[in-house]
Amino acid sequence: MTSALNLPGTLVAGFALWAAPKGIGPYIRQHFLDTTFRGLYHVNEFDLALLIPYFVVLILLAGYGAHRYILVYLYYKHSKNRTTEPAQKFKELPRITVQLPIFNEQYVVERLLDSICKLEYPRDKLDIQLLDDSTDETVEVARELVERYVALGHPVTYHHRSNRAGFKAGALAEGMNTAKGEFIAIFDADFTPPEDFLLRTIHFFADPKVGMVQTRWTHINRNYSFLTQVEAILLDGHFVLEHSGRARTGLFFNFNGTAGLWRRKTIEEADGWQHDTLTEDTDLS
């Protein structure tokens, strides 16, 4: 069964919609063509001072939103490029130095050292540096913890600076002077990497073109409160969508300052850690 388009009826309906008292035609005439109040309002400096920042922020937010949509599109478009396992592996594991920069972290430094000392990696190819810039009781706590783990056979060394020149970047740079590893792993004080972290990530460097590996952050206290749930969602969006979307597409993405590994040669060829910026991780990236 087929039906033909009733052209006269369609035209009548369209005209009625246009000419109705509250139709499209009256709306256009009232809002765009009515000149009754033309010239009543004149733009002044106060209005411009409000409107210009408003529209600038509006445009920036719209651009940011569009950027996020693009990243989501790239994430799914290049899903076939997802990285799960390294393409090749080292025949012999290289030496790794783990750097742990801390500052007044007496309440979490024990948990940090405990998790780092549980990392599965040959002890003769692992060095752990506790880079302490603390100015409080953390100094004594950290030193005692290092002595305890050294007595247990763990390759941990304690480094304390009397001045905080360069802050975290300065501590990492100074640690590089005594680091023995070909690769540098970095963890902030509130991180607890899984035991197989190094074994799962180091083999990506078997590709000589890889200079840095950034891993995703997960959360110990995701469900502690509504605030932590919101923060977890934001961080998940950054790591899962933004980082993955960029990496899968072959675009630039940055190191996040912790939970990642660097090829030492890459750091040195990039002139090392610079402390002339608050975002030394992005600067080095």
Q: Kindly give, in sequence order, each residue whose CB lies less than 8 Å from that of residue 249, ignoring residues fewer than 6 positions away.
A: 74, 77, 78, 81
Distance CA(82)–CA(156), nearest Å, equals: 35
Say which of 34, 196, 276, 281 is annotated catalytic: 281
**Active site (annotated) includes residue 188:** no
Chain centre to alpha carbon of residue 197: 19
Say which of 34, 127, 132, 133 is annotated catalytic: 133
**Active site (annotated) includes residue 196:** no
- Report whether 269 contacts 213 (CB < 8 A): no
Distance CA(283)–CA(179), nearest Å, equals: 21
- Which run of H or of E encompasses 159? strand 156-160
Spell out the alpha helix ranges (H) of the chain: 7-19, 24-28, 45-77, 109-117, 138-151, 167-176, 197-201, 226-236, 244-249, 264-269, 280-284
Task: Give the residue numbers annotated as catalytic, written as ranges.
Answer: 133, 281
